[in-house]
């Protein structure tokens, strides 16, 4: 699991940096709107990797670990809700929009995204990095 978790941590850093760079964009610019679409693509790819490679393996282990089971269930529900809002934000402003509304939404979602990343790394990655899944032989 260590290799997979290291990979997911790196993606978290990249997502956080990419999302943070939105602070300086001009949503009237076609290039910057393409950047929003690129972040959405990266986010979806990361979520897919977690949903296909990490969480199914953790669920197998959770069959014998009630604490892990509750943590995974809580976390996946929370992540799904937040991801839906992030995707909506990226889609909405990829078409342009009001700069003031964009900045208000960006600040709120940036805080939420970074908190979610920290929670996942602490509760899931740190807590279960010793489980032998995703390790390259």
Domain limits, the chain: 2-128
The pLDDT assigned to 130 comes to: 64
Rg of the chain (C-alpha set): 16
| Measured distance CA(51)–CA(76) in Å, rounded | 9
Query: What confidence tens digit (pLDDT) does each residue in 9-58 have?
Result: 999 999 999 999 999 999 999 999 999 999 999 999 999 999 999 999 89
pTM of the model: 0.88
Query: What confidence tens digit (pLDDT) does each residue in 93-110 have?
Result: 999 999 999 999 999 999
| Measured distance CA(124)–CA(126) in Å, rounded | 6
């Amino acid at each position: 699991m260590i290799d997979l978790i290291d990979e997911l941590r790196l993606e978290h850093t990249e997502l956080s940096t990419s999302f943070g760079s939105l602070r300086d964009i001009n949503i009237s610019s076609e290039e910057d709107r393409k950047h929003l679409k690129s972040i959405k693509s990266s986010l979806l790819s990361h979520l897919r990797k977690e949903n296909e490679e990490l969480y199914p393996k953790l669920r197998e282990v959770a069959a014998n670990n009630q604490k892990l089971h509750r943590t995974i269930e809580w976390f996946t529900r929370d992540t799904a809700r937040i991801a839906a809002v992030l995707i909506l934000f990226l889609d909405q402003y990829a078409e342009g929009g009001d700069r003031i509304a964009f900045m208000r939404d960006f600040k709120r979602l940036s805080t939420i995204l970074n908190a979610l990343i920290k929670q996942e790394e602490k509760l899931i990655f740190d807590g279960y990095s010793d489980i032998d899944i995703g390790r390259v032989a």
